[in-house]
Chains A and B, each alone.
Chain A
Amino acid sequence: MMKKSRRSFLKVAAVSAIGIGAAPAISLSSSSTNSHGSSHAAKSPNKGAKTAKRWGMVIDTSKLTEEVVEHIVEACHKAHNVPDFNHEVDEGKYPKTRPVNHKQEVKWIWEEHFHNAFPDKEDEFLADKFKHLPFLVTCNHCINAPCVKACPTQATFKREDGIVLMDFHRCIGCRFCMAACPFGARSFNFRDPRPFIAETNPDFPTRSKGVVEKCNLCAERLAKGEQPYCVEVSKGAIVVGDLEDPESEPRKLLDKNYAIRRKQALGTEPSVYYIM
Chain B
Amino acid sequence: MSKSAIFTGLVIFIIIALFPFWINFGKTAPVPEPELVGKAKTAKKCVLDKMDMRANHMSLLDEWRDSVVRDANRIYTNTDGKEFAMSLSTGENSCLGCHEDKSKFCDKCHNYASVDPYCWECHTEPKEIK
| A interface residues (Cβ-Cβ under 8 A, vs B) | 32, 35-47, 49, 157, 159, 161, 165, 167-169, 200, 202-208, 219, 223
Chain B interface helix/strand/loop/mixed: mixed
Q: A41 touching B78 by the CB < 8 A rule?
A: yes
With an 8 A cutoff between CB atoms, is B122 at the interface?
A: yes
A-B residue pairs, 3 tightest by C-beta: A205-B122, A202-B126, A43-B73
On chain A, the residues within 8 Å of B91 by CB distance are 203
**In whole angstroms, how far apart are the Cα atoms of A223 and B67 in the complex?**
13
Q: How far is the CA of A203 from the CA of B124 in the complex (A)?
A: 8
Q: Which of B65, B75, B78, B124 contacts A38 (CB 8 A)?
A: B78
Contact A38-B48, Cβ < 8 Å, known A45-B73, A169-B65, A202-B129: yes
Residues of A within 8 A of B72 (CB): 45, 49, 159, 161, 219, 223
Taking the nearest CB of chain A, how far is it from the CB of B106, in angstroms?
16
Interface of A is mostly: loop
The segment out of B4-12, B17-25, B52-60, B107-115 that lies at the interface is B52-60
Contacts A38-B78, A202-B125 supplied; 9 other A-B pairs, CB < 8 Å: A32-B59, A35-B56, A36-B56, A37-B48, A41-B76, A167-B66, A169-B65, A202-B89, A205-B122
**Considering only CB atoms, which chain B residue lies closest to A39 in the complex?**
B79
Assembly CA distance A167 to B78 (angstroms)? 25
**Interchain CA distance A208-B48 in the complex, whole Å:** 30
B71 proximity list for chain A (CB < 8 A)? 43
0 or 1 for each of B41-66: is its CB under 8 Å from A? (1 = yes): 00000001000100010011000011
Q: Check if B124 sits within 8 Å of A41, measured CB to CB.
A: no
CA distance A231 to B91 in the complex (A): 23
Contact residue range for chain B? 20 to 34
Q: How far is the CA of A42 from the CA of B125 in the complex (A)?
A: 26
Q: Within 8 Å CB of A202, what residues of B?
A: 89-90, 124-126, 129
Within 8 A of A (CB), among B74-90: 74-79, 86, 89-90
Query: Quick check: is B27 within 8 A (CB to CB) of the other chain?
Result: no
Q: Mark B87-100, 1 if CB is under 8 A from A, else 0.
A: 00111000000000
Decide: B74 and A45 in contact? CB cutoff 8 A.
yes
Query: CA separation between A1 and B59, bound complex, in Å?
Result: 50
B69 touches A167 (CB 8 A): yes
Contact sample, A vs B, 18 pairs, CB 8 Å cutoff:
A36-B59, A37-B52, A41-B77, A42-B76, A42-B77, A43-B73, A43-B76, A44-B77, A45-B75, A46-B75, A167-B66, A169-B65, A202-B89, A202-B124, A202-B125, A206-B124, A207-B122, A208-B122
Q: Which of A36, A205, A207, A223 has the most CB of B within 10 A?
A: A36
